[in-house]
């Protein structure tokens, strides 16, 4: 067991300053291609999503931003949405573009061979950038569903050229204080080839743009058994790890709660982050969630997820780095491994309860929210209208 007093001032600072950005879409309904279940109280507007996200921050104290997805969060007055978020104690975070749900993008968006469709997709991104100026967001996140289903369907090479040209036009439209994130994913919705399938392709594409273009690593976007922490280390070395989309997977892009399926993988990732000084808020790495709650309560699901990240971060923070470096130098294979495992198996939950009490929070955010009556209140109030949904 560890207590707050066992932490060095630096470890304490890093714990205190850690923040996690929530996805607005986690609060809407989601599901699979088989069924999207509805839940009483599900938000119908971006405002209601923000109100729910603010609940997560109220009880955890570590989730002060919410990412938007356009057009899912399209609204008339983004200045008003921004003020509403601020009144609720949170900020609007990055803006996600969506060029994967319009019939025109059937054969690709930024990579499409038809210049008119490419222009439409580029314009959709320019629209997101215009929104960012109103929301005060500094990051545009791009994930594309582009790819092909059959060998020979299109030239993979020509599509890389078109991707670069389209991204360049988007990048040039951004102002100097805005960043671009390019997210990779190895398959789905395309099954034969995907235009940005891996960190190597994403890295090459962002490097060709400029210093303000970075890679977003979604933990669910790799083939089974991929050593994701190795990719984290490489992207940090390249200075291009811009953000995480955290979630968990058992099979494909399951979007389950981060740290639920494989907490040890999350620990290995956070160990690289801590070891390479990337936890510091000035490191430029944004820790975001990209999850859906198909069955479980959405607000509780987000609270659980934020706590999972915080718990695993605390475990990574207490690794004895001096002893580890010594064991590594002496080729003490089992000794080095034991040092990591000791930290992983340490129960940090009592220390984090102590940390919350010190910040004036309830030691048990999950229970405190469940007891607050907010869920029952919104279920009674939010009657009628169209519930927000991922796949709407
Ligand atoms: C794609 O699977 C993805 O990870 C991208 O980040 C999308 O924007 C997001 O999911 C939507 O949930
Ligand atoms: Mn993602």
Q: CA-CA distances (angstroms) from residue 11 to 27, 224, 232, 316, 326?
A: 32, 33, 21, 10, 20
Distance between CA atoms of residues 183 and 230, nearest Å = 17
Q: Where are the beta strands (DSSP E) in 37-99?
A: 65-70, 91-97
Q: Which CATH superfamily is domain 19-312+364-381 in?
A: Divalent-metal-dependent TIM barrel enzymes (3.20.20.150)
Tokens, residue 371? 């007891």
3-state secondary structure of 365: helix
The pLDDT value given to residue 391: 63
Where is 193: in which H helix or E strand? strand 193-194
The residue behind tokens 């405190």 is 368
Percentage, residues of the chain above pLDDT 70: 99
Confidence of residue 111 (pLDDT cuts 50, 70, 90): very high
The pLDDT value given to residue 1: 84
CB 112 within 8 A of CB 158: no
Atom of ligand 1 nearest to the CA of 145: 1
Closest protein CA for atom 8 of ligand 1: 143
Distance between CA atoms of residues 24 and 133, nearest Å = 19
Q: Which pLDDT tens digit goes with each residue over 115-169?
A: 999 999 999 999 999 999 999 999 999 999 999 999 999 999 999 999 999 999 9
Distance between CA atoms of residues 256 and 259, nearest Å = 9
- Tell whether the model's pLDDT for residue 392 goes beyond 80: no
Distance between CA atoms of residues 17 and 157, nearest Å = 43
The pLDDT value given to residue 4: 97
Closest CA to 314 of 361, 274, 259: 274
Q: Mean pLDDT across the stretch 183-194?
A: 98
3-state secondary structure of 82: helix
Asked if residue 25 has its Cβ within 6 Å of ligand 1, the reply is: yes
Q: 183 C-alpha vs ligand 2 centroid, how far in Å?
A: 7
Distance between CA atoms of residues 125 and 39, nearest Å = 32
CB 268 within 8 A of CB 224: no
Distance between CA atoms of residues 206 and 49, nearest Å = 31
Q: Using the 8-state DSSP alphabet, how is residue 389 labeled?
A: B
Asked if residue 96 has its Cβ within 6 Å of ligand 1, the reply is: yes
Distance between CA atoms of residues 160 and 194, nearest Å = 10
CB 314 within 8 A of CB 15: yes
CB count within 10 Å of CB 185 equals: 23
Closest protein CA for atom 2 of ligand 1: 253
Closest protein CA for atom 11 of ligand 1: 290
The pLDDT value given to residue 390: 76
Q: Mean pLDDT across the stretch 189-196?
A: 98
Tell me which of 218, 298, 392 to substitute to probe ligand 1's pocket, judged by most ligand atoms within 8 Å of the beta carbon: 218
Q: Which pLDDT tens digit goes with each residue over 316-350?
A: 999 999 999 999 999 999 999 999 999 999 999 99
Asked if residue 218 has its Cβ within 6 Å of ligand 1, the reply is: yes
SS3 sequence of 244-304: EEECECCCCCCCECCCCCCHHHHHHHHHHHHHCCCCCHHHCCEEEECCCCCCCCHHHHHHH
Strands 213-218 and 91-97: unpaired
Asked if residue 73 has its Cβ within 6 Å of ligand 1, the reply is: no
Distance between CA atoms of residues 199 and 345, nearest Å = 30
Distance between CA atoms of residues 388 and 165, nearest Å = 34
Distance linking the first and last C-alpha atoms of the chain: 46
Tell me which of 245, 251, 286, 390 to substitute to probe ligand 1's pocket, judged by most ligand atoms within 8 Å of the beta carbon: 245
Strands 147-148 and 193-194: antiparallel
Asked if residue 245 has its Cβ within 6 Å of ligand 1, the reply is: yes
Q: 242 C-alpha vs ligand 2 centroid, how far in Å?
A: 13
The pLDDT value given to residue 338: 98
Q: 258 C-alpha vs ligand 1 centroid, how far in Å?
A: 14
Q: 178 C-alpha vs ligand 1 centroid, how far in Å?
A: 21
Percentage, residues of the chain above pLDDT 90: 98
Atom of ligand 1 nearest to the CA of 23: 12
The pLDDT value given to residue 131: 98
Q: 215 C-alpha vs ligand 1 centroid, how far in Å?
A: 14
Atom of ligand 1 nearest to the CA of 188: 2
Asked if residue 253 has its Cβ within 6 Å of ligand 1, the reply is: yes
Closest protein CA for atom 7 of ligand 1: 143
- Closest ligand to Cα 69: 1
CB 24 within 8 A of CB 69: yes
Q: 290 C-alpha vs ligand 1 centroid, how far in Å?
A: 7
As a whole number, the mean pLDDT across the chain is: 97
Distance between CA atoms of residues 111 and 107, nearest Å = 8
Q: 310 C-alpha vs ligand 2 centroid, how far in Å?
A: 20
């Amino acid at each position: 067991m560890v207590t707050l007093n066992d932490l060095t001032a630096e470890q304490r600072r890093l714990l205190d300053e850690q923040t996690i950005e929530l996805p607005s879409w986690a609060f809407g309904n989601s599901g699979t291609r088989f069924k999207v279940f509805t839940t009483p109280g599900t938000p119908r507007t971006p405002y209601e999503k923000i109100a729910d996200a603010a609940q997560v921050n109220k009880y955890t104290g570590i989730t002060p931003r919410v990412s938007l997805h356009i057009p899912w969060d399209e609204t008339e007055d983004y200045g008003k949405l921004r003020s509403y978020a601020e009144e609720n104690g949170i900020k609007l975070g990055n803006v996600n573009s969506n060029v994967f749900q319009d019939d025109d993008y059937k054969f690709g968006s930024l990579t499409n061979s038809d210049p008119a469709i490419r222009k439409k997709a580029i314009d959709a991104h320019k629209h997101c950038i215009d929104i960012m100026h109103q929301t005060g967001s500094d990051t545009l996140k791009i994930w594309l569903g582009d790819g092909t289903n059959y060998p020979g369907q299109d030239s993979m090479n020509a599509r890389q050229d078109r991707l670069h040209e389209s991204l360049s036009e988007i990048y040039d439209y951004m102002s100097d204080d805005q960043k671009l994130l390019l997210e990779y994913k190895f398959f789905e919705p395309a099954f034969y080839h995907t235009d940005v399938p891996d960190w190597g392709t994403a890295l090459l594409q962002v490097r060709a743009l400029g210093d303000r273009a970075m890679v977003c690593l979604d933990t669910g976007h790799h083939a089974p058994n991929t050593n994701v922490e190795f990719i984290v280390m490489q992207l940090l070395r390249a200075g291009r790890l811009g953000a995480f989309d955290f979630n968990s997977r058992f099979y494909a892009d399951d979007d389950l709660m981060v740290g639920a399926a494989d907490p040890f993988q999350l620990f290995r990732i956070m160990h690289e982050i801590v070891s390479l000084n990337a936890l510091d808020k000035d490191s430029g790495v944004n820790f975001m969630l990209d999850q859906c709650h198909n069955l479980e309560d959405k607000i509780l699901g987000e609270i659980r997820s934020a706590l999972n990240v915080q718990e695993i971060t605390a475990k990574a923070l207490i690794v004895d780095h001096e002893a580890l470096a010594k064991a590594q130098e002496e080729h003490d294979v089992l000794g080095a491994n034991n040092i990591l495992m000791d930290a992983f198996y340490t129960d940090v939950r009592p220390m984090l309860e102590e940390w919350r009490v010190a910040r004036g929070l309830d030691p048990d955010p999950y229970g405190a929210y469940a007891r607050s009556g907010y869920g029952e209140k919104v279920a009674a109030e939010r009657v009628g209208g169209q519930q927000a949904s991922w796949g709407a």
